[in-house]
Amino acid sequence: MTSPAKVDTRVCEIIAAVLGSSAPAEIKNDDELRGIGIDSLSILEIVVRVEKECDITIGDSEIFEAALCRVDDLVKLVQSHVENS
């Protein structure tokens, strides 16, 4: 999962999996995380899944210090680690 498009798609798929039946029909990059039902525990679960799939590590402090408001913010965080791995 090295291309930005693949990271984008996979993060959205993982968000949908974490949300389960409460996930919106389509998750877009400009969706607000809280607006689609993501809370801080859900973000941690999403990050853990992404870390395993991408073989990367994102520090907890980095997650909470980042301004993760939209899906795109999370995608960019993951992408920066994928690019540097």
Q: Which of 21, 55, 24, 49 is nearest to 74 (CA)?
A: 49
Residues 6+ apart with CB under 8 A from 4: 79
Kindly report the pTM of this predicted structure: 0.89
> What's the pLDDT at 61?
87
pLDDT digits (tens, 9 = 90+) for 4-32: 678 999 999 999 999 999 999 999 999 99
Q: Alpha-carbon distance 56 to 2, whole Å? A: 12
What integer is the mean pLDDT of 55-84?
91
Q: Which of 40, 14, 42 is nearest to 27 (CA)?
A: 14
CA 1, distance to chain mean position in Å, is: 14
Q: What is the mean pLDDT of the chain?
A: 91
CA atoms within a 13 Å half-sphere pointing along the CA-CB vector of 11 = 27
Ordered domains of the chain (ranges, CATH): 4-83 (1.10.1200.10)
% of the chain exceeding 70 in pLDDT: 96
pLDDT at 78 > cutoff 60: yes
